[in-house]
Structure formats: structure tokens, C-alpha cells
Amino acid sequence: MRQAILDAAEGLFARHGFYGVTTRQVATEAGVDTALIHYYFGAKRELFDAVFLRRAEILNQERADSMAAYEAANPGAMTPLGVITAFIDPLIERSMTGGPGWKSYFALVAQVNNTPTWGGETMHRFFDPVVHQLVDTLKRARPEAEMTDLYWCYQFLTGAMMLTLSETGRIDQLSEGLCKSSDLEAVRARLYRYCAAGLEALT
């Protein structure tokens, strides 16, 4: 039941945001009583945090491993493209093969990422260590780069990446079917190079 509640909450929060979802909707979707949500998670916000944490832990582990593996395999010969690929690819992979729960999750993170009041603080709580690992690894790949530039690069990267992973369907409508949000192979073929080239241009 605990997992069923998390799954239902994840999907709903992803579609309508924190305030756009009621505990009753979550309960109905999960097929349980409203009170059960409070029994397991307490207040609504704590449920949200539980949803957020569940996959964040997995993601942080995979990304840390991915970057560490890349660095170990290319001692002294790291490129920004390689580091960035190691940083992003675990997410693309999960989105492509992890099932609909992961798609919802990324849409959720994208919203939080762009939420002013508590979004920055939430991202900070769950994702800061792995981002610092990215920036530090990039610094080792390009020692002459300024830290400020690297942080800005991360900002641009995460904005582009999360919007793309959230698959809002905007690009489908805009390009009149030429591009498809769901075509993550097309993203893979472009996003990494895009971000790497941007970084090279700034350093």
C-alpha cells in the first residue's frame, strides 16, 4: 500500500504540481482511504518529500557511479563531453527503460527546479552533492576553467535537460510533428554535444 500511495502521488504531483493535487485524489488513485496517507506519511508535504526522495536516492547513486567510472576509465584524459554524458545519461536511460513512474518523476523534478520559493531549497536538499561532484570533475577535466563559469554551465545544462526530460509536448506542437518529446534517442544525439560545446565556448 505504501508503494501504491507513492506511485499515485508521484503521477498526480507530476501532472498538476503540489498544490494542484488533493490528498483525496491521491487516495482515490491509489485505491485507499484518505486517512491511510496520513498514517504512513503525515502531512501532505511529507508525502511529497517521500515521493521526491524515493528515486532521488537511486539517481544520485547511479550518477555518482557513472561519473566515477568515467573518470577511472579516462585518467588524465577527461573531456567535458565525456563528463557531461556520464552526468546526464543515467537519467535518459531511466526515462527510456524505467517505466512511466520515472517519466512522472522527471516531470516532477522539472517543476520543482523552476519553483521559486521552495524549489531551490528542495533541489539543494536532494541533489547538491552529485552536482558538486559534476562541477569538481569538470574542473579536473578543464583546470583552467573558472568555477563561476562551471556553475553557470550547470545552470544552463539543468534547465535544458529537465525541460526536455519533462516531455511537455511543447516541441511536438511547435515543430508540427517534426520533433517528438518522447524521442529520447534524438535528445541523446544532441543534448550532450550541445552542453559540451557551450561549456567549451565559455572556458
Partner DNA sequence: GCGCCATTTCATCACATGGTGAAAAAAGCG
Partner DNA sequence: CGCTTTTTTCACCATGTGATGAAATGGCGC
Binding region for DNA (CB under 7 A): 1-2, 21-25, 32-36, 38-39, 42-45
C-alpha distance from residue 15 to each of 47, 108, 166 (Å)? 16, 8, 10
Looking up cell 487516495, which residue turns up? 27
**DSSP letter at 169?**
S
The smaller minimum CB distance to its own copies, of residues 39 and 151, is found at 151
The contact mask relative to its own copies for 124-163 (x = CB under 8 A, - = no) is x---x--xx--------------xxx-xxxxxxxxxxxxx
Exposure of 51 by Cβ count < 10 A (0-12 exposed, 13-18 middle, 19+ buried)? buried
Amino acid letter, 26: V
CB of 170 to DNA, least distance (A): 26
Q: Which does 61 bind (CB under 5 to 8 A by kind): its own copies, DNA, none?
A: none
Measured CA to CA, the distance from residue 200 to residue 28 in angstroms comes to 50
Q: List contacts with its own copies (CB under 8 A).
A: 14-20, 107, 110-111, 113-117, 119-121, 123-124, 128, 131-132, 147-149, 151-164, 166-175, 178-179, 186-187, 190-191, 193-202
